[in-house]
Structure 1
């Protein structure tokens, strides 16, 4: 493609060391504020990547990572030959898919409906109530939900009042995944709606005014103005969600699952926790965790490419 004048001017302006130095001096305070977060990212996200070599080594605790012998793809082959590995991958994909299908639209719909409330006081009250679960630890939330779904909980009390037999929901494979999805949506939908509310607030009011002049009601304006204007944000959030498709929610499942529902709730993260931290099989757990990260990266790149092909570059991350 031919080079545009604006692109040439940009490169010429910032190719000079003096210009870059002036820009650095101008934003030095902002860069200084960025420094703690950058250091945190380096220490806790990039330096630990050195530990990924454990996936290709026979870890010896006496020799450490550096002195442990190389074994190539031994632990990857071991994972692919393990029947339980495929079970945890299947459970992870199923639970994540359910959360994505049923949970992803909820913050969007909630933000759109919340935006239509005319009372500002009531809107703030609803927002505050919906945000609260996000700030409660899954340790606490799990205890609440386990109590609610227990034999003596309110749900079984209602069932018994209707003449039904009580159900052990938390130990029944038929209900456990549904409970995970519903409780996950309850915990996250309010907080997840913030970015969509911000996007709605950025919509040009003149579009709504013109639609009102043409006789469009609230519902038509939601369908033909609000939702189409949210498409770029929805696309980006979908790409990010696909990146965590293999992250089914360790905190939630670890605090809620038990041996009775292990066949439908054991995911990659809980599997890595057991074989790595409990059984001290560090090399094997690293290989499984690395497999998850590689698949997540492939999914992000693939979805980003698909969105770029369908909707153009303005709806993608890069």
Structure 2
């Protein structure tokens, strides 16, 4: 029986031409047989592909040691830690102590504010950077700009903190010298509780915007060029092509990265904060991670530190699931 073609005209099938689904299915089955031949053991697969397993090994070992082994020790949050084991099971007592501490709510509020500012002001910047880089027609200029904005990602927060402390110095910092030249009073940005959070946001943008834009650039390059040609034939200008073609094409990438960022919402970057923290601004940028760091290493309250870390992990999981469900409902895209 004739089947309609893409153009709406019936294409005859006289039995000699194989069905497209059958061809695709046969090709997929053949490819699967080639990749996973029957009778081949896992040991033989490892022996054949050992260079790839060797390249994966460092990452796997890292995750096993730092992300999977500690899961078992999370039970410490429900115990009273003793120098000589075994520990004593105390149930939710550590959480009761944690939630009754005013310091905990202060660091939780700081974490929520800083993370919220980063979601609002840092997360969109790599998207904008990727859109702007994509509009540069000169390959040489684009490559130069990409190299310049990627470089800060490879600097440690120790170096970046030193750079910002020097730039924002109230006496000889470049920023305050410009302010003074314009007739404004110098500001001690690193010790001012009203500006230190913005220093965290701006330094995060400077460090991560260029590198994070790589994922969005890759998503943009994967968009079918015929969509741009069709939009141009319809009379769309550059802005209309960005709005109607480019942005919808990278929505799945945006949704996935937003969900993953929500999982780290209560982290707020320990390395950044601990390098920019001082006695004056500590009350403003003291976050959950620095609180856990002090509990565990400074005061030896390992059970309380574990309870605070477990609380952060559970909230992160809830945020990931919630943002995934919302994303699926609004855009039809999620992480699974």
Q: TM-score, normalised by structure 2?
A: 0.84
C-alpha distance in 2 between matches for 1:109 and 1:163 = 33
2:115 to 89, 92, 96: 96
**Corresponding position of 1:317:** 335
- Alpha-carbon RMSD across the aligned residues, in angstroms, is 2.2
Against the structure 1 CA distance between its residues 129 and 262, is the aligned structure 2 distance closer, same or farther, given a 3 Å change threshold?
same
**Corresponding position of 2:6:** none
Is 1:127 the counterpart of 2:149? The answer is no
C-alpha distance in 2 between matches for 1:37 and 1:195 = 20
1:38 to 41, 47, 60: 60
1:279 to 299, 302, 308: 299
**Corresponding position of 1:212:** 232
Report how many residues are paired: 303
Per-residue CA deviation, residues 67-125 of structure 1 (Å, 9 max, x unaligned), is 11111111100111011101111110110010011111110011011001010000000
C-alpha distance in 2 between matches for 1:163 and 1:229 = 47
**TM-fit CA distance, 1:47:** 1.2
2:92 to 50, 73, 77: 73
Please identify the structure whose Cα radius of gyration is greater. 2
Is 1:239 the counterpart of 2:243? The answer is no
C-alpha distance in 1 between matches for 2:60 and 2:273 = 31
Is 1:108 the counterpart of 2:130? The answer is no
Is 1:184 the counterpart of 2:204? The answer is yes
Higher share of residues assigned helix? 1
Q: Which runs of 5+ in 2 are unaligned?
A: 1-21
SS of the residue 2:281 aligns to: helix
Q: Which structure has the higher relative contact order (CA within 8 Å, separation 6+)?
A: 1
Q: TM-score, normalised by structure 1?
A: 0.89
C-alpha distance in 2 between matches for 1:159 and 1:233 = 40
**Corresponding position of 1:228:** 248
C-alpha distance in 1 between matches for 2:44 and 2:247 = 42
Per-residue CA deviation, residues 227-277 of structure 1 (Å, 9 max, x unaligned), is 011111111011001101101011111000112112210000011111110
Is 1:159 the counterpart of 2:179? The answer is yes
Is 1:194 the counterpart of 2:214? The answer is yes
**TM-fit CA distance, 1:290:** 0.8
Against the structure 1 CA distance between its residues 177 and 77, is the aligned structure 2 distance closer, same or farther, given a 3 Å change threshold?
same
**TM-fit CA distance, 1:307:** 1.2
**Corresponding position of 2:308:** 288
SS of the residue 1:260 aligns to: coil
1:57 to 67, 79, 93: 79
**TM-fit CA distance, 1:23:** 8.8
**TM-fit CA distance, 1:128:** 0.4
1:255 to 275, 300, 312: 275
**Corresponding position of 2:167:** 148
**Corresponding position of 2:12:** none
